[in-house]
Structure 1
Amino acid sequence: MRPIFFLPAALVLCGAAAAQSHDDSGRAWLAGDHHVHSEWSVDWDRSTTPPTPLRGGDSRYTRTRNARVAQRNGLRWMVHTDHGGPGHSMVTRDLAWPELQRARRGVPGLIQFHGMEFDVPGAEHASLIVAPGPQERDHQFTIERDYSRGEPLAPGARDDGDLMLHALAHMRGLSPTPLMFVNHPSRTATAPGAWGEVEPEELRAWHVAAPQVLVGMEGAPGHQAAAAHRGLYRHADAPTFGGFDQMTARVGGVWDGMLAHGHRFWITATSDSHRNLREGGGDFDPGQYSKTYVWARPEADDIMDGLREGRIFAVTGDLIDALQLTVRSTRHREPAATMGGALQIEPGEPIRIELRIRRPAPLNAHGRVPSLDHIDLILGQAAADGSLDMRVKRFDAGDWHPKGQWLTLRWDVKAPPQGGFVRVRGTNTAEYAPKADIAGEDPWSDLWFYSNPVFLQTDRRPET
């Protein structure tokens, strides 16, 4: 039985200002995907001992094919993340890693990371991203061999949540430090707030244990082309909402609760590509529908830094391709804070929230240029009793200022007395809040983007 975690939420904003201190020269919004499967997501012949890996069992695509398609769909970076299984660490080390080297040579314009879909002990899945370099093969081999839930021959031998904390402690000690994002966190939920294999207490405990390793979750899971169950969220009472996981999509939900209590915890959007819709699957190719944009130089290390520091936004259907969210005091002249960063303020101080977004000129992969219906600026805080206080300010076409491909809007408001955060979402739909996804809906008619937060820090914060 996996333990339930009741660790207190940590105020881990001490590094937030670091997101603002880097030289931005040469940086741009670089689209990517951290959850892509290849032929090395194998099936297993369990009539042998040990089981024999069957190449191409869960995906038929080579890593080079995935890289070429990703680049064609406008991605600048991608993580290869294959499933595990009994002894899969050796499959990764001896077979998949050499194929990664061939993919890097074959598609040199795409920055490709070694990774895996890590079988979380006592839970479900997470994307592991290993920093490129001479240590990448050995680092991943050791993590998978020693900590992956799927690695042992005996099923259930690692179904222990404490082992996840040991795994994070190991990763925290590696140099360079790897990254991890929890995949499809509510896929095993049975209703809104009725959690399955991943519980909010676990997310917080994992993040507190290794805040520079486990830095976020899929806000928009993959499998968006699955006709019957968008995202493969199969429980009718716990679907995705506008393609996004309920932990992210519900204002005042799990993600907002983490942000309000200071957790620097980010969201992404991925393909979870196994088999494309064109070939009878339920997936879009990398970059075809979902993109995670990182503000970074086209260098692996800076992309890793951008993911770690929250310089990222998530979008589906190419609704936008650039986002600048800034928050500044209108009383003092301190520099503005941007996504992943924090603005030091006084309780109730007047602030200006400014958003600039860019609408892509080319057609998206469905042959459309999607229109933007409205944008929500979301201001959240934890009240003195720990409850959430959320404000949503809606903007439509009459409220923003267009200039070419760019739209600009502003909101002048008083900062929450306890501090808090600002985030943004927008859509091509007229829905006030994203509706529960149903079988057969067209994902291309239900597009959303979500920013990551800017934090507002005061000296008055609620006890946690």
Structure 2
Amino acid sequence: MKCYSFFNKYNGLFCLLLLALASCQQVPQAKTPDHAKRWLAGDHHLHSHYSVKWDTSVFPPAPVIGGDAKYSIPLNAQMAAHYGLSWMVITDHGGPNRAKLALEQAYPELLASRKALPDILQFYGMEFDVPGDSPGGRHASFIMPYSATEAQQLYQIESRYNGRQGVPPGPEKAEDAFMLLALKAMDALPDKPLLLANHPSRLATGFRQYHKITPQQLRDWQDTAPDVVIGMTGAEGHQAATLNPDGSTDASAIRAEYPHYPTMGGYDQMTARLGGVWDSLLSEGRHWWVTGVSDSHGHYTDGWADFWPGQYAKTYVYAEKDYQSIFAALKAGNVFVSTGDLIDALYVDVLVKNTGRKATLGETLLVSAEDELVLRVRFRAPDGKNGGGFQPQVQRVDVIQGVVSGPVQNRNSDEAPNTKVTKRFYASDWQTKHGYSEFTLALGKVNHSGYLRLRGTNNKDEHEPEADAKGENPWHDLWFYSNPVFIKLTDTKH
């Protein structure tokens, strides 16, 4: 931990040095593309010291730098790279005049960090405060594509539409309908951003008792801006909330800080429950992706509730190492999520037997009723120990299939009763070659459109993710989830 103490002590000095280095830089400079596609780990929800608190004893309220998150952007980037990330998104949250603070202070620090640490690709974004929410609780990761005008485009949205912007925010921001106006404005930007709902069930009052964010709202958001709204976080942040600064567990603490109904294996119930919200959305044929984040505000060794970016949860995209390719892969759903470095590569292909036709994560395979389908899976566990000092092993992989039946009548539906675990694979069921574990499954012919997704765990006998107990050690309960492959039944053979 000596390196953390050093960076914490010199956090401000480090920023000043980087800002000086970048003082002549007015627009972002693209890194030379690396054209080899591979799995690249990232985090789209983390905070810098520009997630401020506000001093309301003066008018207008004054920002208190470091008030709600501890570290500079470059320190976050340094630690993200240390824990194996290739990309990250700074998503500081709002307040009375956060848009101006972001444009004039946070963005220049991001430019400096990009210049000083080019090997970690750093996207510009914010944690969008969803209008219609009082008090706070509804948030979304708002991710700008890399461009010379990214800061101005984000400022345009934040200054007008962010739910907490204004002194006080306008009365229109108390209405849910204002979120739909915000989404239309995002969709109209020259460079369309991406939006993912953060911790969607954090304020649920119980199991399937959604509050603040509901399945209907998720549907409404995506229907309003389908090129912008792409999904939600599954593996939630604040996973170190049960850890004391010395690494021991606090028996009274709540993992991920879900106060009323806990996470399940570290994942939000909207993702973790089989046949639940996520499957209900997928059963409509929606391109709805799940991700994993740190939501890092401060490290648990400093008395906060978080891991460093990439230390625990990682979102993997299959992309070239450049901004455009990573953004495109995230939007396309060529994505899987892993906690605790359970795996670092996952290849999932649904193939039509005796043809060259296949589809992978986020893609759709067109098939006829006569086509014979085969699932082929390869995954890899990282070499060495994870960020907790452990080397976990995958004990089981579940193949999950669901039916695509079209739009639901009940917009608040959280059920997909036809979604089932097709088969559970254990270590004895796969072969290991060249560091990869492999297995295949004959899927046969299909008589309806559907989708297939995977999940895996280090808990052999926990068939469904259980509600996380207080004081649970997050390093002992690890899961990975793939995003789906869609299978579309057509009338004719392709």
Provide TM-score, normalisation by structure 1: 0.91
Residue 266 of structure 2 corresponds to 243
Aligned to 1:289: 312
Distance in 2 of aligned mates of 1:277 and 1:301: 33
Q: Look up the SS of the partner of 1:339 in the other structure.
A: coil
Tell me the distance in 2 between the aligned counterparts of 1:176 and 1:213. Answer: 10
Runs of 5+ consecutive residues of structure 1 not aligned to the other structure: 1-23
Checking the alignment, whether the CA contact within 8 Å between 1:348 and 1:414 is kept in structure 2 is no
CA–CA distance in structure 2, aligned partners of residues 254 and 78 of structure 1: 27
- Measure, in 2, the Cα distance between the counterparts of 1:444 and 1:203: 31
The offset of 1:25, in angstroms, is 5.6
Question: 1:204 and 1:415 mapped to 2: Cα distance?
Answer: 31
- Counterpart of 1:390? 419
Corresponding residue of 2:373:
351
- Distance change in 2, residues 1:415/1:433 (3 Å): farther
Report deviation, 1:171.
1.2
Unaligned runs of 5+ in 2: 1-33, 243-252, 409-415
Pick the aligned partner of 2:70 from 52, 60, 64. 60
Query: 1 CA distance for matches of 2:236 and 2:175?
Result: 25
Matched, 1:232 2:261: no
Q: How far apart are residue 175 of structure 1 and its match?
A: 2.3
**Would you say the 8 A contact 1:345–1:415 is kept in 2?**
no
Counterpart AA for 1:230: R
- Asked if the contact 1:383–1:389 (Cα under 8 Å) also holds between the matched residues in 2, the reply is no
Q: Does the 8 A contact of 2:315 with 2:335 survive in 1?
A: yes
Q: Tell me the equivalent position of 1:433.
A: 464
**Residue 148 of structure 2: aligned partner:** 134
Structure 2 residue corresponding to 1:451, chosen from 455, 469, 482: 482
Deviation string, structure 1 residues 151-175 (Cα, Å, up to 9, x no partner): 0222573122111111111111222
Distance in 2 of aligned mates of 1:315 and 1:132: 25
1:445 to 1:348, Cα distance in 2 relative to 1, 3 A: farther
What is the CA–CA distance in structure 1 between the aligned matches of 2:329 and 2:391, rounded to whole Å? 28
Residue of structure 1 in register with 2:90 after alignment: 80
Alignment-mate amino acid for residue 72 of structure 1: H
Alignment partner of 1:169 is 2:169: no
Is the 8 Å Cα contact of residues 350 and 413 (structure 1) preserved in structure 2? yes
In structure 2, the residue matched to 1:114 is: 124
CA distance in structure 2 between the aligned counterparts of 1:74 and 1:41, rounded to whole angstroms: 24
Give me the whole-angstrom Cα distance separating, in 2, the residues matched to 1:90 and 1:383. Answer: 46
Aligned to 1:400: 430
Q: Match for residue 339 of structure 1?
A: 361
More displaced, 134-143 or 416-425?
Answer: 416-425
Could you tell me whether the CA contact under 8 Å between 1:347 and 1:419 is conserved in 2?
A: no
**8 Å CA contact retained: 1:33, 1:270:** yes
Separation in 1, partners of 2:385, 2:196: 30
Give, in whole Å, the separation in 2 of the partners of 1:117 and 1:442: 27
Q: 2:344 aligns with which of 321, 328, 337?
A: 321
SS at match of 2:239: coil
Residue 3 (structure 1) aligns with: none
Letter in 1 for 2:38: A
Q: Which moved more, 1:300-309 or 1:395-404?
A: 395-404
The yes-or-no answer on 1:309 pairing with 2:323 is: no
Q: Deviations over 1:351-384 (max 9, x none)?
A: 1111110111121111121011100010111459
1:220 aligns with 2:235: yes
Q: Which residue identity does 1:231 align to in structure 2? A: A
Retained in 2: the 8 A contact 1:348–1:415?
yes
Give 3-state SS (helix, strand or coil) of 1:333's partner.
coil
Partner of 1:147: 161
2:221 equivalent among 206, 212, 218: 206
**How many angstroms apart in 1 are the aligned matches of 2:274 and 2:125?**
32
Q: Which of 392, 397, 400 pairs up with 1:370?
A: 392
Counterpart residue type for residue 427 of structure 2: A
Counterparts of 2:50 and 2:405, CA distance in 1: 48
State the 1:385 CA deviation.
Answer: 11
* C-alpha distance in 2 between matches for 1:291 and 1:317: 8
Indicate yes or no: 2:431 matched with 1:417. Answer: no
1:125 maps to amino acid: H
Distance 1:185 1:347, change over 3 A: farther
Aligned AA for 1:389? N
The equivalences for 1:252-267 within 5 A come to: 252-267=275-290
| Aligned-partner SS, 1:190 | coil
Q: Does 1:197 align with 2:227?
A: no
- Residue by residue over 1:126-146, the C-alpha shift from the partner in whole angstroms, topping out at 9 and shown as x without a partner, is 001111221111001011011
Please name the residue that 1:272 is paired with.
Answer: 295
1:122 Cα offset (Å):
2.2
- What are the superposed Cα offsets for residues 214-266 of structure 1, whole Å, 9 maximum, x if unpaired? 1111011110111112111111xx21000001011011001011111110010
Q: Does 1:36 align with 2:59?
A: no
% same residue:
44
Tell me by how many angstroms 1:334 deviates: 4.6
Instruction: Determine the C-alpha separation between the residues in 2 that align with 1:383 and 1:300.
Output: 35
